[in-house]
Amino acid sequence: RTVVISGASGGIGAAIAARFAEEGASLVLGSIDPRVEAVAAELRESGAKAASLVMDVTNPSDVAALYALAESEFGGVDISVQNAGVITVARIEEMTEAEWDRIMAVNTKGVFLCCQAAIASMRRHGRGGRLISTASGQARQGFIYTPHYAASKFGVVGITQSLAKEVAKEGITV
């Protein structure tokens, strides 16, 4: 299987990649953080098939390039993990509109763009697939000083629920 993972330069994304590598998956790792290249190199050193791209999930051209890399290197996408995410902490009266917009763009728009590209690839190949999007308990409960983050992750839950209904009959689970 070929797995595309956004936000794979460290933390949860790198751990997800390592686990899929243990299972024998081919990996395409993306992140705005150049450390994603070192993560891919380390996986290759351990025997995994891994490619990487420094990219921005809020940029449709970058997202298209990530999924095109999966096509060219490994013949398509079987699993897509939308993991890129950011958070800031601020009192509501101190939070800027730019801060709000950045959190929504990375955490919600990024999931949308990656799911859109992954589904297009999966439909082209007709093999079905899996979409896995990371959210947060804040999507349901919220925390103080992070309403923008909670809203963005609630959006991920909504995207997940909606897409699950749209693509289920095509063998794509979300």
Helix (H, G, I), strand (E, B) or coil at 30: strand
Q: CA-to-CA distance for 101 and 157, rounded, in angstroms? A: 18
Is 149 considered catalytic here? yes
Specify the 3-state DSSP secondary structure of 79. strand
Of residues 149, 152, 154, 174, which has the active-site annotation? 149
Residues 97 and 140: beta-carbon distance below 8 Å: no
d(CA 173, CA 152): 22
SS3 for 77? coil
Active site positions, annotated? 149
